[in-house]
Structure 1
Amino acid sequence: MTDAPPSSPLRDHGRALAIAILGLAIRLDALRSPPVQDDHAQLAMLRGAFPLHRAPWDLFAFVRPGEAPALRADGLLPWWTDDRFAIAMFRPLSSLFLAAQLSLGGHRLAHAVSALLFASLVVVAGALFRTTLPRPAAWIATLLLALTPAATLPLLWVANQNALLSVLLGLVSLSALLRGRVALAHAALLLAALSGEYALPMLGYAVVVALRRPSPARLVATLSAAALTPMIAARALHYGAANSQYLDPLRVPALWLAQSPGRALALLGTALLGQTTGPDHHGSVFAASATATLLGATLLVAAFVLTLRRWPAALRAPAIAWPLGAALALLPVLAAPPLPRLLLPSAPGVAALLAVLCAAPLTRWGMPSPATPAAVALSIPLLIVHLALVPWQAHVDVRALSATFARTRDAVSRAAPEVSRSPRCDVLLGALDLDALHYPPMIWREAGARSSGCWRVLTATALPFTLTRLDARTLQLRSDGGTLVEPVALTAYRGSPMVVGQRVVTPAMTLTVTAAREGYPTELRVDLGADVDAYAWWVLLGGRMVRVVMSRMPAELRVPPAL
């Protein structure tokens, strides 16, 4: 606790809520977003239109083990998907919660609930900051958390609402633990684990706090049991991810260890220095650099330690618990490619670390020791980056992401009048984003159109390729200098490279890799089950999804990049 004058808890909660509203204000476009990506699959599950049955508590079981071939044949998965591919998450609480929202009020209600969860998260974290940090640092930490880029996608993408729920419950557990309400701490952590995997990162904070309480070993064991029991049950029920870009440290420990340092550096760059990388972002405050990240992170941690050394001993332990918890929270998310949204569990600890440095000069308002010139010099660029540049970047990201999703959805929706049941299969020549890759039949269904019931995407490349019609039932696709399937698209659906001669048989066509480079297909033969005009052929061009008659096209056609 600090020695600052007491303040009304209700007034403090109101101020924290105002800060949360500011965080929502810079992301207003996110709260207006239509269904995107996995949202379409979950809506189809609730309507009984998903290829396989899913209960309302199981909306995150997109592909269970053994289901990949059937879903690939249906077209929900691309043709290059590994037979052993799986991505099924055990999130019964958040799944039921989301199902209720979508059933009662659709996506508008779900977005409103996401905003409420985010505001609650900021308010609960703000109370924790005020309990453990000097007041100037506590308020700056609350503001930094409200502006974190990690919250952008969970607010935009309804299917990612589970992240907000599980982190919020993890913070409730931490608050209960600090107040000595151990039973509530266990219950909240268990509910967090039933909401999503982010309960495991949140366990890191609880462990750090538990180590300072009586009987720490027993408390750590029982808290770990609360967080891990649902996950152990999920593993026994064959939930999880396999043969994809998600690296399970228990299944592929060597690969996880090999890729974790690079993933950790990318996430640290985003969290501490405002670097933004990955498809969640369309720009960056600073260009990502491993050297800059290492130097910057080392400098910030050293400055944090030196600052705390000047504090009274009673204030040090609560403050240092935050970055320690954030470091532990980072480890579990290294199983996934480094995207800013993965930093949501670490965001409270990172906000506390940065706030201590930013608030160091504010001794007049309650900081515990005179600031050194170095601390003052460091606080100014940190404030500029994290209170100005990073929020502006978040605003830009939301608008860019919303525009990207809207462009694809609008292109697919506008094509609905041309859709019919008569073709043997609807075939898109190329797609790069998930909406176009997986979900056009679901978007058409939402628009009132009924398609053939068969969907194929032949390529996922940002480069042109050549399509040659060898005869009425045979096509050849050849990359013009690149690959027909970009690395990010290939590794998302398989854990092994493709080889020459590899054949994929589906009900509508057979696809054979006839040339490959470093495991990525560069040439593909497509043997159709009927003449080309029995299929509906589609191409994404200039923000439009256009249907073409293949037999009227030249025998050799250069296809431009997709959207």
Structure 2
Amino acid sequence: MLARAKAWLADRRAPLVLALLAVLLLLPTLGTGAIMDDHAHRMSFHPTFERPGGPRGDWDLFRFLEDDPAALVYLRDRGMWPWWTVDGSKLAFLRPLASLWHALDYRAWPEVHWLMHAESVLLFAATAFFVGHLYRRLLGATAAAGLATLIFAVDDAHSMVITWIANRHAILSTFFGVLALLAHDRARRDGWKPGVYLAPLALLGAMFSGESGIGALAYLFAHALFLDHAPFRSRVAALVPHVGAVAMWFAAYKLGGYGAAGGAFYIDPLGQMGEFARAMATRLPILLAGQMAAPPADVGMVWPRGELGSLVVICLVVLLVVGGGIFAVLRRDRNAAFFAVGMTLSLVPACAVIPGDRLLLFSGIGGAGLVASMLAASRAHLGRLARVYVGGVAAFLVLLHVVLAPLLLPLRAWSTGSMLHGYTERAIASMPRGDVVSGKTLVVVSAPDSVIVNTVLASWINENAPLPSLLRVLSTVVRGTLEVERKDERTLSVTLSAGYFDEVTAAVFRDPDKAKFSVGDRVAVDGMVAEIVSLTEDGTLPEQIDFRFDRSLDDPSMVWVSWEKDRFVEFVVPEVGERRALPVVPYQVAIGG
């Protein structure tokens, strides 16, 4: 039976069959609907849509806020960006190819979400197919090549990036990146002349699909180090067109005003080099452990902000144990070195974002190749104890990547999409709407994340529903306690025991470690002033903030809501002097319903 399995994995049809297997496992995503940014993307194509500092055309969908102080003041005053958004904020990504694909979707069939999901699934299947051919070029027509393709195609870590329509740019970048690697390898090892031109063009396609395309350059560099046997000067010369392609993209990126600034969720590696280096020290081990074994990188999204050091230690231990087993059998294998270095370097730019499994697509090429090579390698040269150790690591990797992954992929793809879709729809359905909010100030005392209210607003725009004149999200909270007190006719004081900005998405708009608040600091927006009253015990985050409005909290022009369990509910404004505790809902409970 094992011999037949090896023969099948080595068959030339394996990449196609395994790509089709991925399609089959991902069919549950077709019914998961729109989530989060999907509503905002559709909003960008609405005839009445206007957002200062936003997209400049169909090709520019991922420009959320350019470096425009006037635009930031307007968005913060209106509440489209929260009151704590730091001055100098910018969030804009150059992804024209992915943007144009979304433009086709939202202009031609804006409500046919199953078709958009099908497009992403088929794109991933095509990517897996070409990744399979890359393995066959590097590892030969072997069972190891087929096993690597299987591991990549059924990796449950890919579930989120495929399920989330707005994340299609990452799949498209990987698709073009794999084509660049294939063309470059054929050009260098087979003398295929078209590859000299096609590889840099494909790399340009990867970069202009999404900045994660830089991961392809990591593998091209690793290829020159370990797989290209030409003289050193020839190898360097072969990389020059690729460096030129990245330089072209970088010039367009900078001239177009793209990049990220102000927040900690996204970090500009070149514009914020110090912050990026510090973030990489914690994020890279989390991403590597999530790629190779456990825990999933998604844990980095929910791990308590002040305790990331313990998660990093866990990840380093896992990497030491698993890496030791792999190194024991593959330390002289140049293909393994290519996979390991390409995987690791491709994750360096991914450290610009808070860790998550959705960042592991490019690294999965090297990760799957490395695991498959280890499982297929001979252990005859090892001593008895070493064989036991390596055998234990191998069994663990088989359990994770071969047994559990294909079972978890459809489950995670469906459950993640369904839960986030349900979370989004419950938020939309439970929020007051129509004449109740039209032209008024909508105040959200608490929410589970910093973007869900904007998602509701986007859905209203898509449905041509009446809009509030101002939007005020006072706090986002998922742990600790939440207390409110009405200090006077116009002032509501909100106290979070875990501190403001402890919730991870709040860092999209402000880096709490860099742009710190002090007691007495004030932030003024149209109709409201937020004043810092106290800080948490460690002095790092605001704990109590007074929100003073320009009118009575009972004024009929103000509509109040807060989050309870799995939806928004009416918030009854306290009497003057009244203090009240509100429920704090962990994010997993909020999205799970």
TM-score with structure 1 setting the length: 0.87
Aligned-pair distance for 1:361? 5.9
Which secondary structure does the structure 1 equivalent of 2:580 belong to?
strand
Amino acid of the structure 2 residue aligned with 1:175 = L
Of 317, 329, 334, the residue aligned with 2:346 is 329
Alignment-derived partner of residue 87 in structure 1: 91
Alignment-derived partner of residue 529 in structure 1: 550
Aligned-pair distance for 1:338? 1.7
Of 290, 293, 296, the residue aligned with 2:315 is 293
Q: Tell me the distance in 2 between the aligned counterparts of 1:293 and 1:447.
A: 45
Q: Which runs of 5+ in 2 are unaligned?
A: 1-6, 188-194, 304-308, 381-385
CA distance 1:423–1:477, change in 2 (3 Å): farther
CA distance 1:401–1:68, change in 2 (3 Å): farther
Of 256, 259, 268, the residue aligned with 2:279 is 259
Alignment-derived partner of residue 124 in structure 1: 130
Alignment-derived partner of residue 276 in structure 1: 296
Amino acid of the structure 1 residue aligned with 2:534 = A
CA distance 1:509–1:28, change in 2 (3 Å): farther
Alignment-derived partner of residue 59 in structure 1: 61
Aligned-pair distance for 1:231? 2.1
Aligned-pair distance for 1:470? 2.9
Q: May I ask how many residue pairs the two structures share in their alignment?
A: 542
Compute the RMSD of aligned alpha carbons. Answer: 3.1
The 8 Å contact of residues 170 and 199 in structure 1, kept in 2 or not, is answered as yes
Q: Within 5 Å, give how 1:120-519 maps onto structure 2.
A: 120-134=126-140, 135-180=142-187, 181-211=195-225, 212=228, 213=230, 215-245=234-264, 246-278=266-298, 289-308=311-330, 316-360=333-377, 375-415=390-430, 418-420=433-435, 421-422=437-438, 424-447=440-463, 449-462=465-478, 463-479=480-496, 481-486=497-502, 488-495=504-511, 496-517=515-536, 518-519=539-540
Q: Tell me the distance in 1 between the aligned counterparts of 2:315 and 2:498.
A: 31
- Bigger Cα displacement from structure 2, 22-31 vs 92-101: 22-31
Q: Tell me the distance in 2 between the aligned counterparts of 1:503 and 1:248.
A: 27
The 8 Å contact of residues 469 and 555 in structure 1, kept in 2 or not, is answered as yes
Aligned-pair distance for 1:460? 0.8
Alignment-derived partner of residue 192 in structure 2: none
Residues 163-221 of structure 1, C-alpha deviation per residue, up to 9 Å, x if partnerless?
00011100001111111111110110011111111121111111222451461111212
Q: Within 5 Å, give how 1:546-557 maps onto structure 2.
A: 546-550=569-573, 555-557=578-580
The 8 Å contact of residues 275 and 288 in structure 1, kept in 2 or not, is answered as no
Which secondary structure does the structure 2 equivalent of 1:449 belong to?
coil
The 8 Å contact of residues 277 and 288 in structure 1, kept in 2 or not, is answered as no
Amino acid of the structure 2 residue aligned with 1:117 = L
Amino acid of the structure 2 residue aligned with 1:486 = D
TM-score with structure 2 setting the length: 0.83
Q: Tell me the distance in 2 between the aligned counterparts of 1:78 and 1:85.
A: 12
Aligned-pair distance for 1:536? 0.7
Please say if 1:559 is aligned against 2:582: yes
Amino acid of the structure 2 residue aligned with 1:357 = M
Aligned-pair distance for 1:63? 1.2
- Bigger Cα displacement from structure 2, 181-190 vs 439-448: 439-448
Residues 77-135 of structure 1, C-alpha deviation per residue, up to 9 Å, x if partnerless?
11111111111001111111221122222333321111111001100000111111141
The 8 Å contact of residues 330 and 374 in structure 2, kept in 1 or not, is answered as no
Q: Which runs of 5+ in 1 are unaligned?
A: 1-6, 311-315, 364-370
Which secondary structure does the structure 1 equivalent of 2:475 belong to?
coil
Q: Tell me the distance in 1 between the aligned counterparts of 2:508 and 2:238.
A: 39
The 8 Å contact of residues 32 and 414 in structure 2, kept in 1 or not, is answered as no
- Bigger Cα displacement from structure 2, 211-220 vs 257-266: 211-220
Q: Tell me the distance in 2 between the aligned counterparts of 1:550 and 1:281.
A: 33
Aligned-pair distance for 1:418? 4.3
CA distance 1:173–1:418, change in 2 (3 Å): closer
- Bigger Cα displacement from structure 2, 487-496 vs 63-72: 487-496
Amino acid of the structure 2 residue aligned with 1:186 = P
Which secondary structure does the structure 2 equivalent of 1:153 belong to?
helix
The 8 Å contact of residues 193 and 228 in structure 1, kept in 2 or not, is answered as no
Alignment-derived partner of residue 520 in structure 1: 541
Q: Tell me the distance in 2 between the aligned counterparts of 1:26 and 1:288.
A: 35
The 8 Å contact of residues 416 and 444 in structure 1, kept in 2 or not, is answered as no
Aligned-pair distance for 1:27? 4.2
The 8 Å contact of residues 425 and 508 in structure 1, kept in 2 or not, is answered as no
Which secondary structure does the structure 2 equivalent of 1:83 belong to?
coil
Q: Tell me the distance in 1 between the aligned counterparts of 2:470 and 2:240.
A: 50
State the identity as a percent. Answer: 27
Which secondary structure does the structure 2 equivalent of 1:328 belong to?
helix
Amino acid of the structure 2 residue aligned with 1:550 = V
Aligned-pair distance for 1:529? 2.4
The 8 Å contact of residues 244 and 492 in structure 1, kept in 2 or not, is answered as yes
Residues 371-423 of structure 1, C-alpha deviation per residue, up to 9 Å, x if partnerless?
96665444222101212334445455445533442343222332366432445
Aligned-pair distance for 1:256? 2.2
Q: Tell me the distance in 2 between the aligned counterparts of 1:431 and 1:396.
A: 27
The 8 Å contact of residues 360 and 379 in structure 1, kept in 2 or not, is answered as no
Alignment-derived partner of residue 367 in structure 1: none
Aligned-pair distance for 1:38? 2.0
Aligned-pair distance for 1:270? 0.7
